[in-house]
Amino acid sequence: MNPSATASSALPPASPPASSGAAELPCAPAVAGQHISLQHERGQQQVFCGLAGIVWLHRKIQDAFFLVVGSRTCAHLMQSAAGVMIFAEPRFGTAIIEDRDLAGLANAHAELDRVVTRLLERRPDIRMLFLVGSCPSEVIKLDLARAAERLSQTFAPAVRVVDYSGSGLETTFTQGEDACLAALVPLLPAATDSAPSLLVVGTLADVVEDQFRRQFAALGIGPVDFFPPRRSTALPAVGANTRFLLAQPYLRDTARALEGRGATHLPAPFPLGAEGTLAWLKAAADAWRVSDADFATATAAGVERAERALARYRPALAGKRVFLFPDSQLEPVLARFLSRELGMTLIEVGTPFLHRAHLAAELALLPAGTLITEGQDVDAQLDRCRASAPDLVVCGLGLANPLEAEGIATKWSIELVFSPIHGFDQAGDLAELFVRPLERRQRLTGL
């Protein structure tokens, strides 16, 4: 480890969620005397940029188009991360900034207007256009906010144009979604209803959204909206009576923007695994004053299904040692799931950023002594990883191939963001994602 790049501190036990809605964790252990170790690293990082978020955002908001204003590198990243859509009209693309734009020889705003006009004339199905900033657009200081405002005026009311940055200079991997949703918050209509409503924040697969809708209905919690919605024309209303649950741990700016609109965050663990899902639902149930008995009745079948599915994969994972590199910000949540529900041993849990408030309930559930590394010094972290001889490494694509070549089983973090993993009915699928690389490694060593 490079000591100059690392600062360590011991975290006091994280408190369970504050009692807005009296969210008492149904499965939380006593945390007295428990602590985790937190160290910070400031060195070279190996993470995707925020453009990657387009891959799952374009699938969710089905009448939106994401236009990256970037270079051929950005276009290649999008193409390789998202694959090629052969049968469908694509819903993302790249407006390439050419050399003459970079040299200031062309009027980039006029070029952008021309590209957008051609796109919208050809694609009348697009109702929302995101102009996504990149490293090159930032380097030439292309003012995409001004462009979005101008183009919105030109194409309103048929199309709304919104800008956000996915640049690798500003964002890592999942921060792209945060930037996108935060940019949408000012467009949410003001809620006029005096009754409380629930907003679930963070992109979820449609199948998971439908399951949660049924679960909230069974609990008598509602009305419930999901943000982002499936259609940009159905943006949920927000106001002082909105309570929101975060479905993803990387939505700092979005949460802050929603609070700025008067909404109240319901602190909770995140809905991964049986335990996380139960605690997440409980935070909403408490805010809606659902009795413990009704809560237990409405969730019993889901818990039972999840636990049955997890039992199938636990023998393959229990006792195995896992090292998580920082990539998606899901790492502390995955660590809690892997250690508590599958019996894995945590060697180190990296995360690009640690939002202490949003993750307080998760940190409280981590085993005593868990080492969390915020930030990265990739070479030092690789040295620690190799020295610890893990059974499984969770990391980005850039590290996975070299580690696999060294005989270490890896799981790509990006797959955990693309796949439906939330809720009771996906708990088994999530566990299986960690079993597969171990089985593959076993087959390879048997050759």
End-to-end CA distance of the chain: 35
Query: What is the identity of the amino acid at 333?
Result: V
Q: Find, among 65, 60, 140, the residue nearest to 98 by Cα.
A: 140
Least Å from the CB of residue 77 to ligand SF4 = 4
> Interaction with ligand SF4 in 359-378: which residues (CB under 6 A)?
none
- H helical segments located in 228-326: 252-260, 273-287, 292-317
- For position 69 contacting ligand SF4 by CB under 6 A, the verdict is no
Least Å from the CB of residue 47 to ligand SF4 = 10
* Contact flags string 38-57 toward ligand SF4, x per CB under 6 A: -----------x-x------
Choices 163-171, 323-331, 363-371, 408-416; region in contact with ligand SF4 by CB under 6 A: 163-171
Q: Report how far residue 213's alpha carbon sits from residue 193's, in angstroms, rounded to the nearest whole number.
A: 20
Residue with smaller CB distance to ligand SF4, 168 or 390: 168
The answer to whether residues 69 and 129 touch, using CB atoms and an 8 Å cutoff, is no
Q: Report how far residue 113's alpha carbon sits from residue 248's, in angstroms, rounded to the nearest whole number.
A: 34
- For position 180 contacting ligand SF4 by CB under 6 A, the verdict is no
Residue with smaller CB distance to ligand SF4, 73 or 152: 73
Choices 69-77, 97-105, 312-320, 360-368; region in contact with ligand SF4 by CB under 6 A: 69-77
The answer to whether residues 303 and 52 touch, using CB atoms and an 8 Å cutoff, is no
The answer to whether residues 433 and 337 touch, using CB atoms and an 8 Å cutoff, is no
Contacts of 191 (CB under 8 A, 6+ apart): 197, 237, 238, 239, 240, 241, 242
Least Å from the CB of residue 168 to ligand SF4 = 3
Least Å from the CB of residue 212 to ligand SF4 = 32
Least Å from the CB of residue 12 to ligand SF4 = 37
Choices 139-147, 161-169, 273-281, 436-444; region in contact with ligand SF4 by CB under 6 A: 161-169
Choices 39-47, 68-76, 185-193, 347-355; region in contact with ligand SF4 by CB under 6 A: 68-76
Residue 124 tokens, joined: 């009348």
- For position 168 contacting ligand SF4 by CB under 6 A, the verdict is yes
- 385 marked as binding residue: no
Residue nearest ligand SF4, CB atom distance: 168
* Contact flags string 2-41 toward ligand SF4, x per CB under 6 A: ----------------------------------------
Residue with smaller CB distance to ligand SF4, 77 or 182: 77
Least Å from the CB of residue 138 to ligand SF4 = 8
Give the number of other CB atoms < 10 A from CB of residue 72.
12
The answer to whether residues 333 and 249 touch, using CB atoms and an 8 Å cutoff, is yes
Residue with smaller CB distance to ligand SF4, 271 or 326: 326
Residue with smaller CB distance to ligand SF4, 52 or 395: 52
Q: Find, among 290, 149, 153, 316, the residue nearest to 216 by Cα.
A: 290
Query: What is the identity of the amino acid at 442?
Result: Q
Q: Find, among 39, 23, 17, 22, the residue nearest to 364 by Cα.
A: 17
> Could you give phi then psi for residue 375, rounded to 5 degrees?
85, -165
Least Å from the CB of residue 78 to ligand SF4 = 8
The answer to whether residues 238 and 255 touch, using CB atoms and an 8 Å cutoff, is no
- 180 marked as binding residue: no
Least Å from the CB of residue 406 to ligand SF4 = 26
With CB under 6 A as the contact rule, the residue among 20, 73, 241, 419 that binds ligand SF4 is 73
Least Å from the CB of residue 134 to ligand SF4 = 4
Q: Return the bridge partners of 375, or none.
A: 41
Residue with smaller CB distance to ligand SF4, 176 or 332: 176
> Could you give phi then psi for residue 243, rounded to 5 degrees?
-105, 135
Choices 3-11, 70-78, 123-131, 355-363; region in contact with ligand SF4 by CB under 6 A: 70-78
The answer to whether residues 321 and 390 touch, using CB atoms and an 8 Å cutoff, is yes
CA angle 258, 165, 259 (to 5 degrees): 10
The DSSP string of 57-84 is HHHHSTTEEEEEEE-HHHHHHHHHHH--
How many chain residues are in contact with ligand SF4, going by CB under 6 A?
A: 12
* Contact flags string 128-157 toward ligand SF4, x per CB under 6 A: ------xx----------------------
The helix (run of H) or strand (run of E) holding residue 265 is strand 264-265
Least Å from the CB of residue 427 to ligand SF4 = 33
The DSSP string of 217-228 is HHHT---EEEES
What are the binding residues for [4Fe-4S] cluster?
49, 74, 135
Which residues of this chain interact with ligand SF4, rule CB under 6 A?
49, 51, 70-71, 73-74, 77, 134-135, 166-168
